[in-house]
Structure formats: C-alpha cells, structure tokens
Chains A and B, each alone.
Chain A
C-alpha cells in the first residue's frame, strides 16, 4: 500500500493520508494483515519521501488514496469473518 510524501502537495495532506492509512491498518482483525498494512504504509511513505516531480507526487497520492479505500473496505470484510480463536502471536504478546 504505497503512497507518497511530497513537498509539492501540502505536507499536511500527506501526513493526513499516512495517519488515515495507519488508523485503518490498526482495524484489521488479522494479525499478519494488520502488521503488513502498517509496515507497507510506513515503507511506502519512506520510499517516496524524496519525490520532487509534481506528477510523480500526484500519482503517488492517488495511489495512496485508492489503497486507503481498499484497506477501509477490507478491514470491514476481515472483521466480519474473523475467527474466534486469535493468532498465537497475539496471545502471548499481551
């Protein structure tokens, strides 16, 4: 779920997108998917931090927004069908 941080489009907008993606990531009931969405979001923003070309920034932004839409929908789907038994990684972590 790659996205971008650029100086062309406002920094605030980028951070708002990042925050929304991370907030949605936390909603996934599945341990592996939740960790992946969070990790991929952060790495995606890190990868695109140095973007300067306005069109590249714009496309990274729209990519990030569409990923956010997917994540929002799928977080709901995953929560509907979440197994009652948790992943072993979540049990001993607490």
Chain B
C-alpha cells in the first residue's frame, strides 16, 4: 500500500515537470518537422518523442483499430500454425516424389478439412484461391461462361461487393442479362421480388450473406429455398459472414460460396471457393495451367497461407460463440455510449438482421470527411476500403435510400476478437468530442436547434 502511495506521488510530480517542459519540447519538435525533407513526410517517420508521422498526419501512438471489415489482425495461434511452413517445411504440395511435397500436401488437406468443417461441407468441395475476390470472379463469370449456351441471365443485388458487381458488368458487355435487385430501407432484399425476377434462362442468383459496409445479414435460408424451387444456382459472398454467423451449405442450399482468410484473423492473400458436388456445379476456370485444385484453380497452392486459413477456420468454429457474445456486448456499449451523448445519430441498415461486429452510423449535420480526419486516433472507415479513397458517398447507402447528406457522414465501426472495452470507451469519447466540435461550428446545426427545417430552405443558385 505504502509503495503505491509513493508511486502515485512520484507520477504526480513527474506530470508537473512534464507539463512545464511541454511547450518547449513541442516547439522543438515543430522546428524539426519543418526542417525535415518533404520525403520524410510521405514515409512513416517515427518522431523523436515517440509519435509517428505518416502522410502528413502526426499521431502520438498507433491508433486503436476499429476497422475489422477491412481486415483483421492475424491471430497468434494462426501465425503459430503457419510459421513451420515458412521455415523448414517449404515443399511444394504438388511434389509427389519426396517428403517435402508429402508433408505440405498433408497440411493442405488438413486445412481443407478445417475450412469444410466450418461450413458443413465435404472437403472435396473446397478449393483454395487467392481470396474472396477471385472466388467471386470464378463464381459469377466462370459459372455463366460454362453454361453460356442455355443460361443468359443473372440476378444479384445493388448492395453487393464491387467484385461481384464488376464481374456482372463484364458479363453484360458479353451480352448476358443482369438484374440488379434493389434493397429495402433496412438493406434486406424483398424475397417476393427475387422470386419474380428469376426467369427460365436464369443461371445464377448471387446475394451476399453479410454486407461489408452495413453488416446486414440476408435471409440465406429463404433465398436458398427459392433458388432450389426454381432450379437456379445460388452463389453467396460469405467473406464477411464466415466464422461470425453459422453457415451451413446444406441448410441454406448454397451452390457456390466465396470465403476469405484475412477477415477471420487469418493471413491475407488466401481464400476459398465452395463448389457443390451434388448436384454438381461446374465452372470454367479463370487460371489455366498445371491443373492444381482439380483444374478449378491452377497455380501452386501457397501452403503457409492455406494452413493459416485452415487454422483460422478451426479457431473460428471453436470461438464463434465466445466472440459473438463479447462483440454483441461491445456493440451495445458503443451504441449506447454514443446515443447517450449525441442526438441525430442514425444506424444504417437493419438492427435486427445485423452482424454485431459491424456498426454503420451516420451523424447528422456533420461533414463526414472532417469527422474522419478528426478521428485520427481511431482507425475507422466511412465504408468499404475499396472505395474509401473516393469522396463519393457509398453506393450501398444510396441503394438503401439514405439521403445524400447522411450518406456523407457515415462511419463504420468494426469490432472484433481483440477489441477491448477500454478501446470502445475511448472511441466513444473521441467520436462524441469530434462530432460536438464540428456541430458547434456548423450553421446548419444551429438552425436546426432553432427549429428550422433544413429541407425547407431554398438555396439560391449561383
């Protein structure tokens, strides 16, 4: 006890001394920053006083990470499984003539079984690819190319990931017909509308399981049932769903599914494609070559990455319930914390049909870009990482019918396995502070508080 008192007093006196020194030290830091070459600003420079400067932004420490939809950190247990295959077990899994090949091949097959177990599939139905984007490309283009003589139509939704939409556009240029189903205000698709849009020449229905931007979970079982009844293949992009919500390819009647390694605490650069065997789904391969992965995807299978993905899947299966409960509690904490202190907070997408680790919120009367810039100590994104460079509001939010101004101010908070309560509290604190600061400057917010309806304002045109 006595020791603690002394420590506290010491810390206090240190703080005083530091406070006295601070103006001096920051002034010298500013001088140093000014005299530094412009080149240093574009690369990561670790400052003398422990901070980091990158892209002209100076931060005192590494930001707290709340962007789990973009990617997740690799779990130490996953890395531990991968490392032997980076070191002495470097064999090509397709080498049939020596031990190096055999042990790698064995590891790949174990990983295949681990992935299959998580989605209740047969290991023979799992093919390793470079990621969910490749799997989506093979699924959409490869399948339609294979059945091109009889099937000329694809049904998908407006809120799909870019790689599905772009593959569809590619098909359109080749003369295929695509239906982009609109979604309702809550982000869910209208099942009746889906059933009505399926035609005799429809080859594929592609609907993502969990949306990457708004976290909305589509009714997979119902969609699967409709597809089965109409005899259409059902493809789903489950990159954001794997390991987070239970997936059962039989119960959901999924014909093809895209999976990703780095969204489930595994390595980047690896994914998987599920292809149903009975009834058999066939695709035209995109990669031709040595015939690896049974000709679906030629090219040497990257053993360390695949082993990592397998380990990540096994962990996800074991930890799904534990992680799920925790993430749900953290989401509540985040949402309640923000709502307690701020008004004009709108959640984008359905709250009931949502994966808890994804919270997409819009803050009214705040400029989104300024908000993100002000939150430099919190690593969050306005939406998809693929489109976060553009100033355009997200097409997913527009598909939901979110007004332009609200779509501009959306922030996606991604919570994961390694997120702590303290991080959530800090994120709430910083977000609230920043939003209040921006609103204090905003004439619009002042007008709203005075009771003026912003939409009734007639803006003069120049």
- Where the two chains meet, the residues of A that have a C-beta atom closer than 8 Å to any C-beta of B are 1-2, 28, 32-33, 35-37, 40, 43, 67, 70-71, 73-74, 77-78, 83-91, 93
Decide if the interface of chain B is mainly helix, strand, loop or mixed. Answer: mixed
**Cβ of B207: which chain A residues have Cβ within 8 Å of it?**
none
Report which of A37, A67, A87 forms a contact with B61, defined as CB distance below 8 A.
Answer: A87
Pick from A2, A32, A43 the residue with the most CB of B within 10 Å: A32
Closest B residue to A86 by beta carbon equals B61
Nearest CB of chain B from residue A52's CB, rounded to whole Å: 22
Nearest CB of chain B from residue A14's CB, rounded to whole Å: 20
* Interface pair B80/A89, CB less than 8 Å apart: no
Beta-carbon contacts under 8 Å, B353-396 to A? 377
Report which of A74, A84, A90 forms a contact with B76, defined as CB distance below 8 A.
Answer: A74
* Interface pair A85/B80, CB less than 8 Å apart: no
**Cβ of B322: which chain A residues have Cβ within 8 Å of it?**
40, 43
Alpha-carbon distance between A56 and B77 when the two chains are bound, in angstroms = 22
Alpha-carbon distance between A26 and B297 when the two chains are bound, in angstroms = 43
Excluding A43-B322, A70-B80, 7 further A-B contacts by CB distance (< 8 Å) are: A32-B419, A37-B76, A67-B77, A73-B80, A85-B51, A88-B63, A89-B61
**Cβ of A36: which chain B residues have Cβ within 8 Å of it?**
417-418
* Interface pair B79/A87, CB less than 8 Å apart: no
State how many residues of chain B have any CB contact under 8 Å with chain A.
27
**Given the known A-B contacts A70-B80, A83-B62, are A89 and B418 also in contact in the complex, defined by CB atoms under 8 Å?**
no
Closest A residue to B418 by beta carbon equals A32
**Given the known A-B contacts A71-B76, A84-B46, are A32 and B62 also in contact in the complex, defined by CB atoms under 8 Å?**
no
* Interface pair A88/B64, CB less than 8 Å apart: yes
Closest 4 CB pairs of A and B: A88-B61, A32-B418, A74-B76, A91-B61
What are 5 A-B pairs with beta-carbon distances under 8 A? A1-B77, A87-B64, A88-B61, A89-B64, A91-B50
* Interface pair A88/B76, CB less than 8 Å apart: no
**Cβ of B274: which chain A residues have Cβ within 8 Å of it?**
none
- What are the interface flags for B19-34 relative to A under an 8 Å C-beta threshold, 1 for contact and 0 otherwise? 0000000000000000
**Cβ of B61: which chain A residues have Cβ within 8 Å of it?**
85-91
The reply to whether the CB of B269 lies closer than 8 angstroms to some CB of chain A is no
Nearest CB of chain B from residue A61's CB, rounded to whole Å: 17
Nearest CB of chain B from residue A37's CB, rounded to whole Å: 8
Alpha-carbon distance between A90 and B423 when the two chains are bound, in angstroms = 11
**Cβ of B417: which chain A residues have Cβ within 8 Å of it?**
36
Report which of A1, A74, A87 forms a contact with B62, defined as CB distance below 8 A.
Answer: A87
* Interface pair A88/B418, CB less than 8 Å apart: no
Alpha-carbon distance between A69 and B279 when the two chains are bound, in angstroms = 44
Report which of B64, B73, B79 forms a contact with A77, defined as CB distance below 8 A.
Answer: B79
Alpha-carbon distance between A85 and B377 when the two chains are bound, in angstroms = 13
**Cβ of A86: which chain B residues have Cβ within 8 Å of it?**
50, 61-62
Report which of A1, A35, A43 forms a contact with B420, defined as CB distance below 8 A.
Answer: A35
**Cβ of A85: which chain B residues have Cβ within 8 Å of it?**
46, 50-52, 61-62
Alpha-carbon distance between A28 and B62 when the two chains are bound, in angstroms = 16
Alpha-carbon distance between A86 and B322 when the two chains are bound, in angstroms = 28
Alpha-carbon distance between A90 and B377 when the two chains are bound, in angstroms = 13
Closest A residue to B423 by beta carbon equals A89
The reply to whether the CB of B128 lies closer than 8 angstroms to some CB of chain A is no
Alpha-carbon distance between A77 and B80 when the two chains are bound, in angstroms = 9
Closest A residue to B377 by beta carbon equals A88
* Interface pair B65/A32, CB less than 8 Å apart: yes
**Cβ of B339: which chain A residues have Cβ within 8 Å of it?**
none
Closest A residue to B419 by beta carbon equals A32
* Interface pair B418/A91, CB less than 8 Å apart: no
- What are the interface flags for B266-285 relative to A under an 8 Å C-beta threshold, 1 for contact and 0 otherwise? 00000000000000000000
The reply to whether the CB of B183 lies closer than 8 angstroms to some CB of chain A is no
Nearest CB of chain B from residue A40's CB, rounded to whole Å: 8
Closest B residue to A37 by beta carbon equals B76
**Cβ of A28: which chain B residues have Cβ within 8 Å of it?**
76
* Interface pair A78/B76, CB less than 8 Å apart: yes
**Cβ of B62: which chain A residues have Cβ within 8 Å of it?**
83, 85-88
Report which of A43, A70, A89 forms a contact with B77, defined as CB distance below 8 A.
Answer: A70
Report which of B46, B60, B418, B422 forms a contact with A33, defined as CB distance below 8 A.
Answer: B418
* Interface pair B59/A88, CB less than 8 Å apart: yes
Alpha-carbon distance between A91 and B422 when the two chains are bound, in angstroms = 13
**Cβ of A70: which chain B residues have Cβ within 8 Å of it?**
76-77, 80
* Interface pair B418/A74, CB less than 8 Å apart: no
**Cβ of B162: which chain A residues have Cβ within 8 Å of it?**
none
The reply to whether the CB of B426 lies closer than 8 angstroms to some CB of chain A is yes
Report which of A32, A73, A89 forms a contact with B426, defined as CB distance below 8 A.
Answer: A89
Alpha-carbon distance between A67 and B80 when the two chains are bound, in angstroms = 11
